[in-house]
Amino acid sequence: MITASHNPFKYNGIKFKGEYAGSADDATTKKIEGFLYKNKPREINFEAEKKKGLIQIIDLTPPYLKFLKSFVNLEAIKETSLKVVVDSMYGAGKDYTAQVLKGGKCRIITIRGEENPSFGGVHPEPIAQNLGALRDMIREEKADLGLATDGDGDRLGVMDSEGNFVNPHQVLSLLTLHLIESRGWSGGIVKTISTTSLLNKIAEKYKRKIYKTPVGFKYICELMLKKDILIGGEESGGIGVKNHVPDRDGLLSGLLLLEMLALKKKSLSQIQEEMRKEFGTYLYKRIDSEYPLDKRDILIPTLRKKPPEELADIKVKEIDASDGIKFILEDNSWLLIRTSGTEPIIRIYAESDEEGKLEKIMEAGKELAFSI
């Protein structure tokens, strides 16, 4: 795939997928990297190569839309009178959700659905700070829901009827419950180290295996290929589900969310509140902060050697060093610190059940990182 993914257009590059239609594994990636710089780039004549059969042009849209229609309960969604704003952020999602659902009562309003190679100057990542246009349209149209997909359409961002951003942990948890309760599908749950502990509670209730991986969907893909996995997701909004390719699909995730609303005949906020009452409150925050390059490589090893006994006056009960370093506290709040391998930045993540406590844990995380 030629894509900048969720990044600005200047990051345009190549993503490799395996023959199983998921992220290429490390071994494949290393083999490909071994060919780099072996030959000088050369110009080709596109039309001439096409005549030789070396370039094929195939429109994959019709079979993909047919698949989406077959995967979800199309009739149930079409019968609802939901009004949904879909923000494709000038990316690959285009107006496909509207095409899938045309001809029913469900009204889809597409914004930023046209092709724009520079994404209109917008960073095409479906997170709160990039979705002002979606928020404004939800309020203007008095819509029930907002869905957004990133540049290459594999991530989903969600806003409720008030234009409030619904974080990906909540979306992943809601879809997990939907696939278990409404579809009755078997399988385990996969989450990355930076993803909510709410999924552990859900797994416990429904006696499902839960798997934890380092950050990166390729690790989730590996498990989806080897084991019976119901759903796998990460905190950045990428979700993969059973009976599909072992990869993320933002459009399908959005349609499954609409299916959930259609079958439950409740608003997203009502369903979220029901989930909170049953499983508890899970508040989440992440910050990315500039960090000196000379300290980046010693930060995590130092914290592993001398971990704190408590954070924000709460005792540390467990340490997970499988990706960065994660401190799990006595009350099940947690703090994760990871470094970037390519930029002079660190990422600090935290989850807790109270806003004030969450802020204190984040502050403790920053103090910890910058005291090295």
Q: Is 107 exposed, middle or buried (0-12, 13-18, 19+ CB in 10 A)?
A: middle
Domain 61-167+250-260 has CATH 3.40.50.300: no
Per-residue pLDDT tens for 235-250? 999 999 999 999 999 9
CB 24 within 8 A of CB 218: yes
Band (365; pLDDT cuts 50, 70, 90): very high
Q: What is the CATH number of domain 283-370?
A: 3.30.310.50
Judge whether residue 360 has pLDDT over 90.
yes
What are the tokens at 122?
């917008």
**Domain 169-249+272-279, CATH among 3.40.50.1370, 1.25.50.10, 3.40.120.10, 3.30.1360.200:** 3.40.120.10
H or E, element range at 325: strand 325-329
89: left (phi over 0), alpha (psi -120 to 50) or beta: left
The boundaries of every CATH 3.40.120.10 domain in the chain are 61-167+250-260, 169-249+272-279
Task: Give the pLDDT confidence score for residue 296 in this predicted structure.
Answer: 87
Per-residue pLDDT tens for 109-141? 999 999 999 999 989 999 999 999 999 999 999
Band (341; pLDDT cuts 50, 70, 90): confident
CB 336 within 8 A of CB 348: yes
Task: Give the pLDDT confidence score for residue 344 in this predicted structure.
Answer: 84
Read off φ and ψ for residue 59, nearest 5 degrees: -90, 105
CB 339 within 8 A of CB 357: no
The boundaries of every CATH 3.30.310.50 domain in the chain are 283-370
Per-residue pLDDT tens for 45-103? 999 999 999 999 999 999 999 999 999 999 999 999 999 999 999 999 999 999 999 99
Band (232; pLDDT cuts 50, 70, 90): very high
Judge whether residue 285 has pLDDT over 90.
yes
Per-residue pLDDT tens for 294-340? 888 899 999 999 999 999 999 999 999 999 999 999 999 999 999 98
* Range scoring the smallest mean pLDDT among 175-184, 211-220, 287-296: 287-296
DSSP code at position 17: B
How many CA atoms, within 13 angstroms, populate the side-chain half-sphere of residue 179?
A: 28
State the pTM of this model.
0.95
Mean predicted confidence (pLDDT) in 240-262: 98
Task: Give the pLDDT confidence score for residue 91 in this predicted structure.
Answer: 96
What are the tokens at 279?
């499983």
247-277 as b/e, with b when 16 or more CB fall inside 10 Å? bbbbbbbbbbbbbbbbbeeeebeebbeebee
